Structure 1
Amino acid sequence: MIARIVMATGLTTLGVFQAGLALGRPWGAASYGGAHSGVLPGHLRLSSAVAAPVYLGVAAAVGIGSRAGLGALATVMAVATIPNALSPARAEKVWAPVCAAIAWAAWSEKRRR
């Protein structure tokens, strides 16, 4: 139960953040290596527009108890932890523990089978 809450909350947070980026929120310093301190350029806003519903869809699936893809989710989030932790953008580093927590929760839930 706790693992699903961690996953759903983390993924929803990432989805809302990506939606904000896509809609023009000036959060560029906390994304994509921090190369754009304000509003992202069009191609990155498009990337965020694609990412947002993916994160939110996975959050919804996890929230209703789906176990499909937990291994893939754990792997993707574990890998995503690395560039976020190593990002030159201080603001982007906040996403490393979020990704790590989602990875841990997905792995934990997968092993619970």
Structure 2
Amino acid sequence: MAADVTAADLYFADVLHNAEWVEADADTKRRALEQAEKQLYRYFKIYTPDNRPLPAAAMYEQAIWLLRMDEAVRKTQQGVRSVGVAGVQVSGETVKPISPEVLILLGRRVGRYDR
């Protein structure tokens, strides 16, 4: 599936918390969709672009999940557990790389999602 920004725009028009998508420019949206597609095909190997394509909604949900990740979230995925600046320390746990909405849409298999 090629990144279809227009279809994703229609999908997110009815989503309550869609600011990250609406405020992104077209190129950022396209890149988010392309990265989401690559990630999901890597994680969910039962899907293939030719024989069993991912549902579009799963790619859209993963794309907005990627747009919502700020620098702090990305650092936790790289192993950073806490950061301190001027006496203030912030700790965080690793955020899962796959959107919870995607797991619902694709029917998460118990014991198979370990990241």
Normalised by the size of structure 1, how large is the TM-score? 0.33
Structure number with greater CO (CA < 8 Å, separation at least 6) is: 1
Larger Rg over CA atoms: 2
**Structure ranking higher in helix proportion:** 1
**Structure ranking higher in strand proportion:** 2
